[in-house]
Amino acid sequence: MPVTVVRLNLVEPGATPASLSARYRAAVEMAAYADERGISTVQTEEHHGVADNWLPSPFTFAGAVLGATKNIAVTVSAVIGPLHDPLRLAEDIAVLDLLSGGRLVTVAGIGYRPEEYALFGVDWHRRGRLQDELLETLLKAWTGEEFTYRGRTARVTPRPYSDPHPLLLVGGSSKAAARRAARLGLPFFPSAHLPDLEAYYKERLTEYGTEGWTMMPAAETPLLHLSEDPDRSWERYGEHLLHEARTYASWQSGDIRSAVRSAARTVDELRAEGVYRILTPDDCLGQGLDHHVLHPLAGGMPVDEGWRGLKLYCEAVLPRFRDLPA
């Protein structure tokens, strides 16, 4: 049975406060529905100052989801580490870890949009050093013991639920990110299917004498929406998918590697490309994918259509996977 993920980033171009509030509440309800039906993970992310209202506060949203669910993991992929105060982030993650019984997974990256750094007055050129400080501080803070932080004594309480600490991965597509993860003995989350970078990380683990593992996207990780009539859905909702694809592509320079990267400029090109896929239940079963990443509210998709797709997956795909022989 594949790993199943529901991605929620709450994008809505032209939203009103009322419509965005309804979208946020629907997203939490979707997460609770997915939890009841055995979906593995809710994934969310962090971006700032985006005109289409991309979610800027993933841990607040994660708290709402964790409070509405019992079993599902919530992955923040990724938090832009250098934009956060290390001590406050340590506290926030510890509290969420306690509330959820260890269901929060944090992937810490450094981002790729200088304008987000400018918004918070953080020096883009210091992002690597700030990320090192953040990760080192989190690991010290979660011990509950005193440690030296920026020349003063600090202690963070309460201690998290998870032992030795909440699940924290280092994300990125660079050798610097792989080295950072290996040096600290943290698992590595390449932002795309990058076997050479995974091998480099393992070499650095040996060099540093640390232990770790990778959680790497598969070579093929499309974003899925379920429909009984894909042609009709592409006609009605393809512009929503294209909006998100074009927005995301506009942020990525040549040295940024992502598992979700589109070069499409039209809905027809997007459909042919296969990064976003609208599938019938039978087509979904025939994909042969190890991971199913559902994106029910992609690019401002109407909430009602998002519900239709999510329910179709849970009612017409998941039960058939469970019936397959082990």
pLDDT digits (tens, 9 = 90+) for 204-246: 999 999 999 999 988 888 999 999 999 999 999 999 999 999 9
Cα 209 to Cα 55, 68, 140, 172, 206, distances in angstroms: 38, 41, 19, 21, 5
Count H helices and E strands in the chain, helices first.
12, 11
The whole-number average pLDDT for the span 93-111 is: 98
User: Cα-flanking dihedrals φ and ψ of residue 324, to 5°?
Assistant: -70, 150
CB 42 within 8 A of CB 34: yes
pLDDT attached to residue 100: 98
pLDDT at 169 over 90: yes
pLDDT attached to residue 294: 97
Tokens of 96: 């969420």
- Taking CB atoms within 8 Å and a gap of at least 24, the contacts of 256-263 are 256/112, 256/173, 256/191, 257/173, 257/190, 257/191, 257/192, 257/194, 258/173, 258/191, 258/192, 259/191, 259/192, 259/193, 259/217, 259/221, 260/221, 260/223, 261/192
**Amino acid at site 277:** R
304 contacts: CB under 8 Å, gap ≥ 6: none
Q: How many CB atoms lie within 10 A of CB 181?
A: 29
**Amino acid at site 232:** R
308 falls in which pLDDT band (50, 70, 90)?
Answer: very high
Q: Taking the model in full, what pTM does it have?
A: 0.95
Rounded Cα distance between 24 and 26, Å, is 5
Tokens of 325: 């022989």
Residues in the chain: 326
Sign of torsion, CA 173 175 176 177?
Answer: positive
| Range name among 116-125, 142-151, 255-264, 305-314 with the lowest pLDDT average | 255-264
The owner of tokens 């690991």 is: 139
Tokens of 295: 């994106």
3-state secondary structure of 73: strand
pLDDT at 170 over 80: yes
pLDDT at 321 over 90: no
| Range name among 46-55, 165-174, 260-269 with the lowest pLDDT average | 260-269
CB 40 within 8 A of CB 73: yes
The owner of tokens 């529905």 is: 33
CB 185 within 8 A of CB 212: yes
Sign of torsion, CA 106 108 114 117?
Answer: positive
DSSP β-ladder status, 152-154 and 147-149:
antiparallel
Share of the chain above pLDDT 90, in %: 88
User: What Rg value do the Cα atoms of the chain yield, rounded?
Assistant: 20
Tokens of 226: 């379920």
Domains of the chain: 3-220+306-322 (3.20.20.30)
**Residue 240 CA to its chain's centroid (Å):** 19
Rounded Cα distance between 34 and 26, Å, is 12
253 falls in which pLDDT band (50, 70, 90)?
Answer: low
CB 23 within 8 A of CB 10: yes
